[in-house]
Each structure stands twice: as structure tokens, then as C-alpha cells.
Amino acid sequence: MARKSTGGTKFGVGRRRMLKGAAGAAGAALGSGAITGFPVIWAQNTKNIVLRQCGTGVSNINEIAEKCKADLGFTLQMTALDSDAVVQRVVTQPNSFDVGDIEYWMCKKVFPANTLQAMDVKKIKYFDKIVPIFTTGKLKPDSVIAQGTAPNTVSFVEGPGSTKFAKGQTGWFTMIPTIYNADTLGIRPDLVGRKIENWKDILDPKFKGKTSILNIPSIGIMDAAMICESAGIVKYGDKGNMTKAEIDKTIDFLIKTKKEGQFRAFWKTFDESVNLMTSGEVVIQSMWSPAVSAVRAKGVPCTYQPLKEGYRAWGGGLSLAKHLQGAQLDAAYEYINWYLSGWVGAFLNRQGYYSAVLETAKANMTADEWGFWMEGKPAQGDIKNPQGVVVEKKGAVRDGGSFYDRMGAVACWNAVMDEDRYMVQKWNQFIAA
């Protein structure tokens, strides 16, 4: 997933500036059973610390900065950028940030630049409770690791000063996972007029001029691969690491499909996808889970459709700038431990995302919230997002079911391929065609 750009706007804890888009679901989060006890200790030596965080809009949320200030005593200054700008900032302006909020597919681009430092897992309080997708690649012991840039393949480096990704687990982590999801097609059930079961259904001539896919190369190419594979257009050896020939076949098909008028638009931001679906201009498109909820909140039917071929997944987390040391570095570790302690996890779960440490997030949610968002159970009452807006009525069941149903059906992750430069060039040709 890529997140909505806010033009590089900076905001801190004293400013009630809400991000639009994915982060616009933010607000006062009310939970129960919050884990408490350690912030007072943590805050002793860090109240005068300022940490500058840059990342994408989905998790650079003012409420998180405010809660961090209240619990830990130090200030978070957040800069929300689009995905490409985040990569550029981390690689070329390493002294302009302290904490990088990056996605796993970006890791292949940013960590080899040697502007980030590996994290000592011994300093991560909840490391052993992190969902194993990020450490072993497997949700369950018998799970198959999905194609693409699976998080575990870029999670560990060989040592404290290394930029070389390790093949297995070491004591040195590239980034601490915080947020992730399984993405699929969103549909207008009132307008599609038939059952949607496959990624290839977006190609149905019935939907000509009423479809859309995401226009961010490392993500859009995976949507395209799921579509092409489903339709039998291309048989990939590994769709997460395509050959030039496979890229050519995929892009040629996309250009042909575009010229035939199948696509209405190619969106980059959360708001664009919501508006396309709400207006009815588009009836089937790649979407993000909170965008579907946002459409529903407007009183418009929208379904996040499980598909036979599975989901395309993404994940993000927090990384530390190379220059961090001393009290600032200590504060950064405290911030990460606080982030995993449950309040933020519950906050993100209420937006339709998933938290990296399930146990602590659960302790900060009501039984009904946890049942709906995580267990696939019918809502016992109205379900609200962090802003307090009702997004699902009593009796509703989350599209795709439980956490294990959805994350257990991931077919691929957003990817940076060996032929990434060539792929981006070809993708841009498709958009310009």
C-alpha cells in the first residue's frame, strides 16, 4: 500500500491538523483494558527530546503524537509524504529525520543506502510477541511464504553495522513492524450485478469504463499480476520478481486493456479511490480496507471482496536513522516499545488494519471490537472507527472473515523486483499510453 501525500506538511502535538485520506479516520480512540504502568518510568529522561518522523500518511497521525507526548513526555514531529518521496528522503536526506515510517517493499531500496541503523532485538520489549509473518514469513507453521517482498526476507541484517539482508533470523532488525493488511478488490454490489469471485472479473466487458487500479508501480504491478494470472494472460515463474519478458507481457496487456477503454482511472490517493467508488464512476477497483469503510460511512454499499486467488498484502514499520545516538536513540527505542504496547495497535485495528502485536492490541479493545475486526464474528453492537463514526451496524461481519482467514490467504506482497528500474519505466509507459 502507498499512502496519501499531504504535501510534506509537518505537524506536532500542539496542532489539531487531521490528515485526510487513510489517516482521516483518526480520532479519539476509546478502548478498555489498556496496558499501563511503564510510561512514567520511560518518561523520566526523555521529556525534552524531539523525534522527527517521516513516512506515509496512513500511520503518521496526530493523535499518535499526542498520546506519545502524554505517555512518554517527548515530542514527535511527523512529516507525511507519498511513498516515492519517503524513499527519496530516507536515501538522500538522512539527517532530516530520526524515525523512518517505511513499508517493507521500500526496505530493499532504502536499507542498502546505509542511512538507517539496525535495531537490537534485545531492546524490543515485545519482540517475541510480534506476528511471525515478520520474523519467519509464516502466519502458521504450515503456511506457505507468499511471493513478492515478503517482510521476513528484509527484516534481518547480518550484524549491527551491516546493510546485507540475512537469510534467517539474527539479533538485528531492519524495522519494527507496526501496520499491515491484506488488500483485494472493492466492489459496488448494487452496481456490478453479479457475483465477483476472481481478480480477472475486473476485465469483464460489462464493467468497461468503470474499473480502476492503483497507480504506484511497486503496488500496481502486483495488482496487475494477480489480474493477468487469474485471466491466464501470463504464467509467472514468480510474479513478485518478474523477468523482463514477464514485465513486457504484463504491461503490453495493460496498455491494450487501457486503449480498449476498460479503465476509468488510475488512483494514487485514498480520497481518489473513495470518490470514484462513492460517485459510481467506478464499480470495481483495487482498494484499501479503510477506504471501503469510508464509502460505507457515506451510506453507499461497498464490499471488500474476497477472491479465489487470494490477497495482495503490504506492511510497514518503524526504522531508526543512522545518526541517532545517546538519549535520542534511547527515546526512539522507548517510542517503539510504547508503539507496540497496545494503544496504537487498537487504534489501527479500528481503521481496518492489523497490529503487529495482537495480544497488547486486544487488551485495548472491547470484546465486540476484537470479535468483529479480528475474529470474523458478527458485531454485537455498532462498530465505530477511531473517530467515533459508525462504520458497521449491529450484525455485520467483516468482509473476508477473521484475521487468519484474510492474512492466511495472502498470495503476494508488494514488491521491489530485481528488474525494478525496468518495471517502473514500463509502468510509466502504460500510464502515459
Please state the three-class secondary structure of the chain as a single string: CCCCCCCCCEECCCCCCCCCHHHHHCCCCCCCCCCCCCHHHHHHHCCCCEEEEEEECCCCCHHHHHHHHHHHCCEEEEEEECHHHHHHHHHHCHHHCCEEEEEHHHHHHHHHHCCEECEEHHHCCCHHHCCHHHCCCCCCCCCCCCECCCHHHHCEECCCCCCCECCCCCCEECCEEEEEEEEEEEECHHHHCCCCCCHHHHHCHHHCCCEEEECCHHHHHHHHHHHHHHHCCCCCCCCCCCCHHHHHHHHHHHHHHHHCCCEEEEECCHHHHHHHHHHCCCCEEEECHHHHHHHHHCCCCCEEECCCCCEEEEEEEEEEECCCCHHHHHHHHHHHHHHCCCHHHHHHHCCCCEECCHHHHHHCCCHHHHHHHHHCCCCCCCEECCCCCEEECCCCCCCCCCHHHHHCCEEEECCCCCCHHHHHHHHHHHHHC
CATH 3.40.190.10 in the chain is located at: 10-178+313-368, 182-312+406-432
Domain at 10-178+313-368, CATH class: alpha beta
pLDDT, position 14: 33
> Please, how many CA atoms are within 13 Å of residue 426, restricted to the half-sphere of its CB?
23
- Model confidence band, residue 45 (pLDDT cutoffs 50, 70, 90): low
pLDDT, position 22: 35
> Which of 57-61, 158-162, 365-369 is predicted least confidently?
57-61
Q: In angstroms, rounded to a whole number, what is the distance separating the alpha carbons of residues 174 and 119?
A: 6
Domain 182-312+406-432: give its CATH architecture: 3-Layer(aba) Sandwich (3.40)
Share the mean pLDDT of the chain. 89
| Residue 376 CA: distances (Å) to CA of 2, 371, 380, 386, 406 | 26, 6, 12, 19, 10
pLDDT, position 293: 84
Q: In angstroms, rounded to a whole number, what is the distance separating the alpha carbons of residues 146 and 87?
A: 24
Q: In angstroms, rounded to a whole number, what is the distance separating the alpha carbons of residues 70 and 233?
A: 54
Residue 406 has pLDDT above 90, yes or no: yes
Rounded to two decimals, the pTM is 0.86
Mean pLDDT for the stretch of residues 22-40: 38
- Model confidence band, residue 405 (pLDDT cutoffs 50, 70, 90): very high
- Higher-confidence position of 167 and 43: 167
Residue pair 233/253 in contact (Cβ under 8 Å)? The answer is: yes
pLDDT, position 270: 86
Residue 25 has pLDDT above 70, yes or no: no
Residue 47 has pLDDT above 80, yes or no: no
